[in-house]
Amino acid sequence: MNSIKLENKNLAGVVTPEQISAYDKVATDAIYQIENATGEGSDFLGWAHLPSSITDAEIEDINNTAKNLSDNCDVVVAVGIGGSFLGAKAVNEALSDAFATSHKVVFAGQNIGEDYLSQLLNFLKDKTYGIIVISKSGTTTEPAIAFRLLRENLEKKLGKAEASKRIVAVTDASKGALRKMADTEGWKTYIIPDNVGGRFSVLTPVGLLPIAVAGFDIKALVEGARAMEMTTMKPGADNIAQTYAMTRNALYNAGKKIEILVNYNPRLHYFAEWWKQLYGESEGKDGKGIFPTAVDFSTDLHSMGQWIQEGERTIFETVLSVECSDNTVVIPSDKDNLDGLNYIAGKRVDEVNKMAELGTRIAHVDGGVPNIRITIPSINEKHLGELIYFFERACGISGYILGINPFNQPGVEAYKRNMFALLEKPGYEQQTAEIKKRI
Kindly tell me the sign of the dihedral angle through the C-alpha atoms of 115, 120, 121, 125.
positive
Q: Which of 9, 18, 114, 302 is catalytic?
A: 302
351 given a catalytic annotation: no
The H or E element containing residue 7 is: strand 5-10
Give dist(CA 198, CA 145) in Å, integer.
Answer: 19
Is-catalytic flag, 302? yes
Sign of the Cα torsion 97, 102, 107, 108 reads positive
Number of CB atoms found within 10 A of residue 99's CB = 5
Are 83 and 154 in contact by the 8 Å Cβ rule? The answer is no
Distance, CA of 281 to CA of 277 (rounded, Å) = 6
Point out the catalytic residue in the list 125, 347, 416, 436. Answer: 416
Which entry of 281, 317, 381, 392 is annotated as an active-site residue? Answer: 281
Is 229 one of the catalytic residues?
A: no
| CA–CA distance, 5 with 29 (Å, rounded to integer) | 23
> Could you tell me where the DSSP H helices lie in 140-217?
141-158, 160-164, 177-185, 205-213
Is the distance from CB of 117 to CB of 108 less than 8 angstroms?
yes
**Using CA atoms, how far apart are residues 29 and 195, in angstroms rounded to an integer?**
21
Please, what's the largest Cα pairwise distance for the chain?
76
- How distant, in Å, are the alpha carbons of 65, 71, 244, 422 from that of 214? 12, 12, 32, 38
C-alpha–C-alpha distance, residues 385 and 305, integer Å: 30
What is the β-pairing status of strands 371-376 and 5-10? antiparallel
Positions marked active-site: 281, 302, 416
